[in-house]
Amino acid sequence: MAHGNVIIRFNEVTFGYRHNRPLLNEVDFSVREGMKVTIMGQNGAGKSTLFKLLTGEIEPLDGAVVIEKDASIAIAKQVLAREQLEMTVKEFFESMFDRKVYDIDPKIAEILDVVNLHAPTDRLMKTFSGGQQARLLLASALIQKPDILLLDEPTNNLDKAGIAHLTNYLKEYDKTLLVISHDADFLNAFSDGVLYLDSFTKKVEQYVGNYHKVVEEIKRRLERERSQNARLEKDIANRKEQANFFAQKGGKLRNVAATMKEKIEELEEDKVDVRQEDKTIPNFTIENQDISHPAVRFESVGIVKGHKPVEKKFDLVLRKKMHLLISGPNGIGKSTLLESLYNGTAKGAKIESDTIVGYYRQDFSTLDFDATAYDVLRDVAKDATDQDVRAAAARFLITGELLATKVGALSEGQKGLLSFARFLLMKPGLLILDEPTNHINFRHLPIIAKALDKYEGAMILVSHMPEFVKQIRIDEEIDLGKI
């Protein structure tokens, strides 16, 4: 695909949130007009930081971020600002422009169709569910049709139809696009290049080709590096054995041994460190609280119909070893149901007392953002030792420095992994999981699905990712849109 002039250039950009701990180090790359680029890297490698540098939210410590003159940039925010909650849909979209847009109504209709959401333009923003607000935020970036469009996990709150709509839109988008996502098939549908953030070297490597092709290329490179290391280690071991033998013989052979040791040092320098991107969480098991009583009793569930709350009869006793899937369209009240159940405010459902509950909330608001990752784990660990806490964290790639980091400073993916580390220490009798795949690296998803499939406590799951759900044992399902 032919592309135009360079529209984005990073010239030896260095940035870090901590002194002498760069997240990006002397990064160089360029993006041409019309390119559709995937931002790829391990959780915490700096993908979202890259976007903040592009929008000017943060400044590089060294080097320069150069954007073509007069090029417009739009990014979908994660949450609505307080003043936006009181706006109508029309006022919200009008606020995205610095001038009067006379044909705003058809533009709104078109862009809401892209995110698979239909709503009257006079409806207040605060009346939408969290998932619907996320779609509106995505639409607010798309409607601007900027020269540079930045999308951070745009499929997180979209169902299958919504992802299909967005994919088709991005295929036809004729301007520059940079996307962070863990949805491999979605990315492969339109990507023609990858910016790969290496969390070991702190550099950005640039690749050309569709997403699957680039992933395979990176995989082959890692295999070559591991094979090279294996050959070098074998050669080093043999040379060390010979050098020790010659050193013990004395005389002129000691000089031979000294020369061999110099060669061994050269070979050691040729070895390539195993890249952090190659790390995947190991298999894990979530132990459960041994409860003889039911975990949850349902007599009814609250849903939203015609923008109004409605109670629907639903009889179910959720016991140990039972997995319940809650499905339904966006805005029907899935997340609201889970939150009210956890908070004890649900009218027709109740968690039995003494049940230990592990709640994965998609915005991670159950975590204390001002506490360190270690303190958040220690808080639920009860009788666990310090070693137990650190071991649980390490299973989810949260080691050393990250444990001392405040939760609010972690990447979204790291917050997700921290939540699962908490479950290991909590040993809950009930898991409530609201979109547990959001922000999680796709390499980790099969391992998480396997752990949930084998979980022997009671579980309530909401997920927009069918392929993930298929890997998990489901005993009961309730479609809120059909009751």
Residue 462 CA to residue 223 CA, distance in Å, equals: 37
Specify the pLDDT at position 64: 95
Q: Which two tokens stand for residue 189?
A: 């549908």
CA dist 380 and 62 (Å) reads 41
Residue 285 in any domain: the answer is no
Do residue 160 and residue 236 come from a single domain? no
Tell me which residue of 371, 348, 351, 349 sits closest to 359, measured CA to CA.
351
175: left (phi over 0), alpha (psi -120 to 50) or beta: beta
Q: 1 in a domain, yes or no? A: no
Query: Last residue of some domain: 278, 305, 329?
Result: 278
User: At 3, is the pLDDT very low, low, confident or very high (cuts 50, 70, 90)?
Assistant: low
Q: Which of 51-55, 397-401, 431-435 has the lowest mean pLDDT?
A: 397-401
On whether residue 288 sits in a domain, the answer given is: no
Q: What pLDDT, in 10s, does the model give residues 154-185?
A: 888 787 788 888 999 999 999 999 999 878 88
Q: In terms of domains, do 328 and 426 share one?
A: yes
In what helix (H) or strand (E) does residue 333 lie, and over which residues does it extend? Answer: none
Alpha-carbon distances of 475 from 6, 93, 216, 238, 456, rounded to whole Å: 54, 42, 37, 57, 12
Query: Are 120 and 236 members of one domain?
Result: no
Q: Which of 384, 346, 378 is nearest to 460 (CA)?
A: 346
Taking the CB of residue 351, how many other CB atoms lie within 10 A of it? 21
H and E: helices and strands count for the chain:
15, 17
One domain, residues 199 and 234: no
pLDDT in tens, 430-474: 999 999 988 788 789 999 999 999 999 999 999 988 889 999 999
Same domain, 120 and 256: no
Query: Could you tell me if residue 290 is inside a domain?
Result: no
21 in any annotated domain: yes
Q: What's the domain range around 343? A: 296-479
Residue 284 falls inside a structural domain: no
Same domain, 61 and 138: yes
Please name the residues in contact with 479: beta carbons below 8 A apart, sequence gap of 6 or more.
Answer: 327, 328
Q: Closest Cα to residue 41, out of 222, 272, 201, 199?
A: 199
Backbone angles phi, psi at 345, to 5 degrees: -105, 0
In the predicted structure, residue 381 carries a pLDDT above the cut 90: no
Q: Is 287 domain-assigned?
A: no
**234 and 367 fall within a common domain:** no
| pLDDT at site 158 | 80
Is the pLDDT at 259 greater than 80? The verdict is: no
pLDDT reported for residue 94: 94
Band of the pLDDT at 268, cuts 50, 70, 90? low
Per-residue pLDDT averaged across 255-278, rounded? 65
Give the number of domains in the chain. 3
pLDDT at 11 over 90: yes
> Per residue in 65-82, pLDDT tens?
999 988 999 998 877 888
> Mean pLDDT across the stretch 392-398?
93
47 and 195, same domain (yes or no): yes
Q: Which one is predicted more confidently, 421 or 255?
A: 421
**What are the backbone dihedrals phi and psi of residue 137, each rounded to the nearest 5 degrees, phi first?**
-65, -40
Please report which confidence band the pLDDT of residue 217 belongs to, taking 50, 70 and 90 as the band edges. confident
How far apart are alpha carbons 336 and 330 in whole angstroms?
11
Residues 6+ apart with CB under 8 A from 472: 323, 449, 452, 453, 461
Specify the CATH number for the domain of residue 473: 3.40.50.300
Predicted local confidence at residue 275, as pLDDT: 54
**Domain end among 215, 230, 263:** 215
Q: If residue 113 lies in a helix (H) or strand (E), which one and from where to where? A: helix 104-114
Q: Let me know if residue 253 belongs to a domain.
A: yes
Are both 460 and 392 inside the same structural domain? yes
Average pLDDT value for the chain: 87
The pTM assigned to this predicted structure is: 0.71
Of 192, 215, 238, the position where a domain reaches its end is 215
pLDDT at position 2, please? Answer: 52
Same domain, 268 and 303: no
Residues 211 and 332 in one domain: no
Residues 209 and 223 in one domain: no
**pLDDT tier, 1 (very low <50, low <70, confident <90, very high otherwise):** very low
C-alpha span between 243 and 416 (Å, rounded): 50
